[in-house]
Amino acid sequence: MNRLALARADDALILGHRLSEWCGHAPALEEDLALANIALDLIGQARSLYTLAGAATGHDEDHLAYLRDERAFTNLLLVERPNGDFAVTITRQFLYSAYIDPYWRSIAATQSPLAPIAAKAAKESAYHLRHAAEWLIRLGDGTAESHRRAQTALTQLWPYTDELFDPITPDDIAVPRETWDTTVNAVLAEATLTRPDPKWQHRGGRLGTHTEHLGHLLAEMQSLHRSNPGATW
Amino acid sequence: MSTEITPLWEVFIRSRGGLAHRHVGSLHAADATLALQAARDVYTRRGEGLSLWVVPSNAITASDPTDRDMLFEPTASKIYRHPTFYEVPDEVGHM
Amino acid sequence: MYSQGLNQPTEASADSPEQARFQARIDAEDKIEPNDWMPDAYRRTLIRQISQHAHSEIVGMLPEGNWITRAPSLRRKAALLAKVQDEGGHGLYLYAAAETLGVTREELVDQLLSGKAKYSSIFNYPTLSWADIGAIGWLVDGAAIMNQIPLCRCSYGPYARAMIRVCKEESFHQRQGYEIMLTLSRGTEAQKAMAQDALNRWWWPCLMMFGPPDSASQHSDTSMQWKIKRFTNDGLRQKFIDATVPQGHFLGLTFPDPALRQDPETGHWQHGEIDWAEFKTVVAGGGFQATDRLEARRKAHDEGAWVREAALAYAAKRQARKTAA
């Protein structure tokens, strides 16, 4: 099993799934379509990455998405955080995209088996980053209420950001923290938001130690598939 | 419930290199940047475009439909502006 | 996804010279554009019909959205999300078409959320299994297409153009639904039963989508004269049944109508009595899911208010900074 592809696939699927929960419920129609576009990009990335991950062992994308338990998922804790309000969703997307965008571009330039997938994903993540950054700036520098919500979201999610920088396998690449810092600090400054400085950081997603939210997400996502073993859909 | 009105924008898309931007529809957005993002997300989901314009709907000045005869009828009689008005013998070939 | 024959009767047209010119343009298949003169009743009828159509698209996102997080494969998940997203886009195009007639989206949304405006009765039925997603695509979108294709030639330009875009995008929706039904009906016994159950529950409500029978419909004449509507409710319903019954038989499914039979002479499929009392109840707001549907829309709207306000506040601030600079 390609553990690197699997973990990146899990990130994309879980975040794509979270965004898909917004469909029909976003703050405006235009934004409903935008969030669905991002979700579709992420689900598409997950499918390619699962196919790569399972190639050696003969597992297809649906086997990997639907028939593994919580402990077998190796996604970041950040991406499994519940949607919360629009500020939480946008902040989560921004923090993740600010890492994964340079990541895809870097790995696309290597000989990694992920390179072809990364080349396509990089175009998508570049837009996700811009979209989330533009919104975060507006929420941060909008009204008093939106500022408060954006700052709260940032404070809540920040303890899950260190995990972004952990290489998944010895042959994985790591985006330098300064790259991420430069992007994030510039947007936070424009958004008039304060960079949090929490006392601790949470890790564990890459080892299958998740927050309690993931189990519920998987229970919902996998329920139909699992209730009909062997069926074709 | 919010009573403020989010402005309306008109969206124009260049579908292929070499073609002009063409009006495709409208959307609501608070500012130009969000309007451009929304135009991309709403109107180019099937590879419809290579370039986008967004224009505030209230920036468009339109001709008055009741002026239609005055504005556009008079040209109808200027048939000498069209190539088929002129006789060129077939032997001359394509011109 | 769909507009339903729900409009109120419109008053007979007066015989002013503008009116005569207007009707002459329509008779000549000319399109009416936003700034053109039009009778008030034409404007009102269009606002009502287009906004009902838009509301139907938006509320229509909910029953299918109910299964996005449970779609049984990643391929199905992506297709369903893209489809429901399309419905949102269609609502957006249609609201924009209605706005050319002098209403704002905010006013139209308020009409929906206050319960004043109607939307297609079909979306007040619940989606109880994955097969319902197949049935909605196959039957509800199939019914919608019957209705929407003629609307591409509607006399009002912006509505016709919006419908052309909608129809183009919808072309994958029905195929998506039928493919789900086909896979289920070729699948396990449990899947076959699921498909049959979905057909049993969705068939009659889909026939009701075309609106009351022509004998009971009051508004058709003026709408026909104005070329807002080009076929009668019964005509479209028959077209739908004739196209759909053989597709259902190909799936090996049984329609829940013992009276269904093909007229050997005309080739048309004749159906049993439609329960119009149920239709009236649903249209009047008594639909099974009606409360939940409106509540979901209100919640999204209310919880989104601070976001829309923030974007406007930021735009105002930036404008002020630009002016000051």
CA nearest to A20, candidates C204, C88, C82, C117: C82
Residue corresponding to tokens 């298949």: C29
- Structure-block tokens of residue C110: 């308020």
**What b/e sequence results for A56-75 when a residue is b if at least 16 CB atoms lie within 10 Å of its CB, and e otherwise?**
eeebebbebbbebebeebbb
CB B26 within 8 Å of CB B4: no
Domains of chain A by range and CATH? 2-227 (1.20.1260.10)
Mean pLDDT of A209-224: 98
A72 touches chain C (CB under 8 A): no
Domain count, chain B: 1
Question: Which tens digit of pLDDT belongs to each residue from B53-77?
Answer: 999 999 999 999 889 889 999 998 9
CA nearest to A58, candidates A117, A1, A140: A1
* Inside any domain, residue B75: no
d(CA C3, CA C222): 17
* CATH number of the domain where residue B34 is located: 3.10.20.520
| Class of residue A133 by CB neighbours under 10 A (exposed 0-12, middle 13-18, buried 19+) | buried
A residues 142-161 closer than 8 Å to B (CB): none
d(CA C207, CA C194): 21
Report the complex ipTM.
0.97
* Inside any domain, residue B92: no
Question: Which tens digit of pLDDT belongs to each residue from A79-108?
Answer: 999 999 999 999 999 999 999 999 999 999
Instruction: Return all residues near B69 (Cβ < 8 A) that are at least 6 apart.
Output: none
CB-nearest to A30 from B33, B42, B45 is B42
A residues 30-59 closer than 8 Å to B (CB): 30-31, 33-34, 37
Residue corresponding to tokens 């509507």: C229
CA nearest to B53, candidates B20, B88, B4, B95: B20
Residues in chain A within 8 Å Cβ distance of C75: 47
CB C58 within 8 Å of CB C105: no
Q: Which residues pair with C269 in a beta bridge?
A: C262
CB C185 within 8 Å of CB C251: yes
B50 touches chain A (CB under 8 A): no
Question: Which tens digit of pLDDT belongs to each residue from A139-159?
Answer: 999 999 999 999 999 999 999
B42 touches chain C (CB under 8 A): yes
Number of other residues whose CB lies within 10 A of the CB of residue A233: 19
C300 touches chain A (CB under 8 A): yes
* Inside any domain, residue B79: no
d(CA A70, CA B71): 70
CB contact under 8 A, C306 and A143: yes
Mean pLDDT of A24-34: 98
* Inside any domain, residue B37: yes
Q: How high is the pLDDT of residue C9?
A: 45
* Inside any domain, residue B71: no
CB contact under 8 A, A138 and B29: no
Q: How high is the pLDDT of residue C8?
A: 45
Query: C291-300 — which CB contacts under 8 Å span 24+ positions?
Result: C292/C62, C293/C59, C293/C62, C293/C123, C293/C124, C294/C59, C294/C112, C294/C113, C294/C115, C296/A24, C296/A25, C296/C62, C297/C58, C297/C59, C297/C62, C297/C112, C297/C113, C298/C113, C299/A25, C300/A24, C300/A25, C300/A26, C300/A27
A131 touches chain B (CB under 8 A): yes
d(CA C28, CA C25): 5
Q: What percent of chain A has pLDDT over 90?
A: 98
CB A204 within 8 Å of CB A162: no
Nearest CA in chain C to B46: C169
Q: How high is the pLDDT of residue C171?
A: 83
DSSP secondary structure letters along B30-79:
SSHHHHHHHHHHHH-TTS--SEEEEEEGGG-----GGGHHHHHGGGGG-G
d(CA A221, CA C68): 9
Which residues form the domain of B24? 8-61
Per residue of chain C (325 residues), give pLDDT as tens: 444 544 444 444 567 898 999 999 999 999 999 999 999 999 999 999 999 999 999 999 999 999 999 999 999 999 999 999 999 999 999 999 999 999 999 999 999 999 999 999 999 999 999 999 999 999 999 999 999 999 999 999 999 999 999 999 988 999 999 999 999 999 999 999 999 999 999 999 999 999 999 888 665 678 899 999 889 999 999 999 999 999 999 999 999 999 999 999 999 999 999 999 999 999 888 999 999 999 999 999 999 999 999 999 999 999 999 998 7
Residues in chain B within 8 Å Cβ distance of A129: none
Task: Give the distance from residue C134's alpha carbon to the nearest chain B alpha carbon, in angstroms.
Answer: 23
CA nearest to A29, candidates C96, C89, C103: C89
CB contact under 8 A, B25 and C96: yes
Using alpha carbons, list the distances in angstroms from residue A79 to A213, B49, C12, C81, C266.
10, 31, 60, 19, 59
Angle (CA) A79-A82-A86 rounded to 5° is 100
A137 touches chain C (CB under 8 A): yes
Residues in chain C within 8 Å Cβ distance of A27: 300, 303-305, 307-308
B8 touches chain A (CB under 8 A): no
* Inside any domain, residue B84: no
Mean pLDDT of A168-184: 96
Nearest CA in chain C to A14: C69
Q: Which residues pair with B28 in a beta bridge?
A: B8
| A–C interface: beta-carbon pairs under 8 A | 139
Task: Give the distance from residue B30's alpha carbon to the nearest chain C alpha carbon, in angstroms.
Answer: 5
The DSSP 8-state label assigned to residue A146 in this structure reads: H
* Inside any domain, residue B70: no
* Inside any domain, residue B55: yes
Task: Give the distance from residue B85's alpha carbon to the nearest chain C alpha carbon, in angstroms.
Answer: 28
Q: Provide the Cα torsion B35, B39, B40, B41; round to 10°.
A: 100
CB contact under 8 A, B27 and C106: no
* Reported pTM: 0.95
Instruction: Return all residues near A58 (Cβ < 8 A) that are at least 6 apart.
Output: none
For chain B, list the contacting chains (3+ Cβ pairs, <8 Å): A, C
